Amino acid sequence: MDVLPSDTAEIAREAARRRSFAIIAHPDAGKTTLTEKLLLRGGAIQLAGAVRAKGNARRTRSDWMKIEQDRGISVATSVMTFERDDIVFNLLDTPGHEDFSEDTYRTLTAVDAAVMVLDAAKGIEAQTRKLFEVCRLRDIPIVTFINKMDREAREPFDLMDEIEKTLALDVAPIAWPVGRATEFAGTYDLYERRFRPVDATDADAVTLTGPDDPRLAQMVGAERAKLLHDEAELALAGFPEFNLDRFREGTLTPVFFGSALRDFGVGHLLDGLARYAPPPRARASDSRMVEPGEAALTGFVFKVQANMDPNHRDRVAFVRLCSGKLTKGMRLRQVRTGKQVPVNAPLFFFAKDRQVAEEAWPGDVVGVANHGTLRIGDTLTEGEQLNFRGVPSFAPEILRSVRLEDPMLAKKLKTALSQLAEEGVVQLFRPFDGSPPIVGVVGQLQLDVLQSRLRVEYGVPAGFDASQWQIMRWITGDDRAAIDRFLDLNRRDTAEDHDGEVVALFGSDWRRKRAEEEFPMLKFHAVREQH
């Protein structure tokens, strides 16, 4: 098909105004509160909750709700799209619990930037660090938001220092707090010299000549103005200047201060995201780099969500678009199988009122309903044979055998496990010696979810027993004969995963090390990139 230059120009233009991001935070730092406030700014919540929608707006809104009802899927919270000043923000939700979650990590493969929310009294916490490490692996640029400035907080210099030291990430404060805790009066933009008073609108921001502008003292009192004067000077001298290239390569973070609860600093943060966060970038595939402005559509599945309603086995595959334009009724090629996947009723997570929009662009995420064909890591194209890299699977840290309370349900269990494995809820390993499958999860919580879903959705009450294995690794090697030899020698301790990849199971770390020594020509991987 010939492509008119105007098509690619439109695609490039739409891509350029997309900002797709996630929020990374330790539980309780304020991710949920900030999300709400961000959506309010983009108008999304107001409109979603509005009962006064007229005409088309009402119709599309009820369409959306019907999709949710019919499929029993709460798609709304997974991807939140809002528009402000001609920039389209796609906020991808990451599950908020403390457990190490594969879902969270995979979601981070689908964003172009992340907002790191810190509790001003606590600074960097365990989960912040873990999530940050994943962002670093992928060079995802990070914007920092120091939240809860309306309460007792640690000294800003202290917090900056901690970010620099514990994350080895340079900080460039954009805003600086004026006053602390109950005396918190607002923030001062170090570059634009703008004072934003707390509990006022963005329009009330005042541009000053500098921190010593007498108007500041009039507004916040001499004491707080003096403190800012001293600190702003120190901050400007002591930290590197904000640099867009360094931010985008992931080595420097701009820092904003605010209070999500009081809806303060959120607009400033959004301005920062709009200005600094990158639009979709070229993405690596196994054959070439794919530019977002290309005419042909490409995308990859980073998440699969099942129906909550046990009578419908539909799933929604979340597809991040990397190039081209998606419209209703397109047929796409699932590269892994070569199958054509009709996209008759894609869920577009677009528009302020969550309406079902007609098209999606690079950087957007769409939901594609299917009966289990689409799997995490799948690449979709208009025909080209290419696979995007980088959607990871992690070696489970907990391996269990499944104990059925009713042996008559064995067949049902098999189907259930297989479906849940496709969805990414659990990893499944079938030992080559024919013994029953082993389930693997990355955290305890995942095991609880598995148990509850088996019971509630599939009517299969089951328990889990400790397995004889502690560690699992994917095996690869150039020498196929060496792999076969390993499998022959370790028939009882090897299995295949749900995608047919070969894995080794070890009873202890000592055994793992020994296998690595005995088979130096093989590689034993704790992380696998899905294809």
CB-wise, 184 or 524, nearer to ligand G4P?
A: 184
The answer to whether the annotation marks 370 as part of a ligand binding site is no
CB of 320 to ligand G4P, least distance (A): 23
Residue 253 near residue 163 (C-beta atoms within 8 A): yes
Task: Let me know: does 222 contact 230? Beta carbons within 8 Å.
Answer: no
Q: Determine contact, residues 80/93, Cβ cutoff 8 Å.
A: yes
SS3 15: helix
Closest to ligand G4P by CB, 32 or 251:
32
Q: What is the separation of C-alpha 127 from the centre of its chain, rounded to a whole number of angstroms?
A: 14
CB proximity list for 81: less than 8 A, separation 6 or greater:
42, 44, 88, 89, 90, 91, 349, 350, 351, 354, 364
Cβ closest to ligand G4P, residue 31 vs residue 400:
31
Binding site residues, ligand G4P, CB under 6 A: 25, 27-33, 96, 147-148, 150-151, 259-261
Task: Supply the DSSP string of 448-514, one letter for each residue.
Answer: HHHHHHHHHHH---EEEEE-S--EEEEEE-S-HHHHHHHHHHTGGGEEE-TTS-EEEEESSHHHHHH
Q: Shortest gap between Cβ of 266 and ligand G4P (angstroms)?
A: 10
Q: Which is nearer to ligand G4P, 184 or 486 (CB)?
A: 184
Tell me the HSE value of 90 on the side-chain side, using a 13 A CA sphere: 33
CB 258 to ligand G4P: min, Å:
7
Residue 188 tokens read as 């001062």
Q: Is 150 annotated as a binding residue?
A: yes
Q: Which is nearer to ligand G4P, 28 or 384 (CB)?
A: 28
Tell me if 377 is assigned to a ligand binding site. no
Q: Is 149 annotated as a binding residue?
A: yes
Q: Which is nearer to ligand G4P, 182 or 311 (CB)?
A: 182
- Least CB distance from residue 192 to ligand G4P, whole Å? 23
CB 28 → ligand G4P: shortest distance, Å? 4
Closest CB 273 distance from ligand G4P, rounded Å: 18
SS3 string, 147-203, reads ECCCCCCCCHHHHHHHHHHHHCCEEEECEEEECCHHHCCEEEECCCCEEEECCCCHH
Closest separation in Å from C-beta 117 to ligand G4P: 7
Q: Is the CB of residue 465 less than 8 Å from the CB of residue 436?
A: no
The reply, when asked if residue 147 is annotated as ligand binding, is yes
Residue 33, annotated as binding a ligand: no
DSSP for residue 285: B
Closest CB to ligand G4P among residues 12, 29 = 29
Q: Annotation-wise, does 97 bind a ligand? A: yes
Residues 304, 390, 140, CA angle at the centre, nearest 5°?
100
* Residue ranges at the known binding site for GTP: 93-97, 147-150
Binding positions are: 93-97, 147-150
